Amino acid sequence: MKVISIANFKGGVGKTTTAINLAAGLKNLGKKVLLIDVDPQANLTQSLGVTEDIKNSIYEVLRKEAFGEKTSITDVLITASGLDVIPSSLDLAGAELELASVYGREQILSQLIAPLTAYDYILIDCPPSMSMLTINALVSSDFVLIPLQAEFLPLKGVRSFLNHFKLVKKLNKRIKLLGFVLTKYDERKKMNRQVREELEKEFSENMIFKTHIRSNIALANAQEKGMDIFTYDKNTNGAKDYSELTSEFLSKFN
């Protein structure tokens, strides 16, 4: 079992899109995958066709685990669009305050995930901030994957993330950076190329995925329809890019 957080402090950079379509890509190759939504905005949950705010979400199990009640994360497991998902709900926004005084609050998710050894990969979709939920995700993870849009401001967000990442490493020594994935990429845009070059200068080459996810409206349309991109239309650039990303992702574990 490998646990990978998909994180960046910036919103709208393709975290949720990457979580869903990487999970679908892995599943299509016969891997056993679990998606965990720890963003109170519940975009991942909703993007897989769960439209109403559900009662049994990650929030319930986090609370029970935090307050010593008997619980299992699989109590709230659902199948959405063919994928195993631990859904989020809007009330997860309250978890921050509720868990603030709990002893060992950074390790709650990690304890919940530990028994799930039957999965090959667990992908955690993080909120766009360093909240207690993001810390819980990172403390549970073996790796962090950072999607980013190739623009100047997102690059600033990445630097700030990496500073916090150093602090998280004190809580979870095994966590490593799996790499950056450039999203909404357009080779014709000078800014996109510049940011890629700057990243390549700042980090070692193998930290930047060779696959770039191109701008492709089909990715947004698929999400709106509650589907992954392969189910929606496997002939789109989005499907091609996420299929390539899946192969590159897997090659890092060989």
Ligand X SMILES: Nc1ncnc2c1ncn2[C@@H]1O[C@H](COP(=O)(O)OP(=O)(O)O)[C@@H](O)[C@H]1O
> Which chain residues interact with ligand X by CB under 6 A?
11-17, 43, 128, 183-184, 213, 215-217, 219-220, 223
Give the nearer residue to ligand X in terms of CB position, either 13 or 112: 13
Give the nearer residue to ligand X in terms of CB position, either 90 or 114: 90
Token pair for residue 95?
């978890």
Site for Mg ion (CB under 5 A): how many residues? Answer: 3
Give the nearer residue to Mg ion in terms of CB position, either 66 or 222: 222
* Least CB distance to Mg ion at residue 39 (A): 5
Torsion, Cα 179 18 3 54, to 10 degrees, reads: 150
Give the nearer residue to ligand X in terms of CB position, either 17 or 57: 17
Token pair for residue 254?
């060989």
* Least CB distance to ligand X at residue 208 (A): 16
d(C-alpha 238, C-alpha 196), whole Å:
19
* Least CB distance to ligand X at residue 156 (A): 15
Give the nearer residue to ligand X in terms of CB position, either 13 or 58: 13
Return the residues of window 155-184 that contact Mg ion according to CB under 5 A: none
- Select from 43, 89, 107, 243 the one that contacts Mg ion (CB under 5 A): 43
* Least CB distance to Mg ion at residue 20 (A): 10
- Select from 6, 9, 14, 16 the one that contacts Mg ion (CB under 5 A): 16
- Select from 15, 63, 105, 184 the one that contacts Mg ion (CB under 5 A): 15
* Least CB distance to ligand X at residue 218 (A): 8
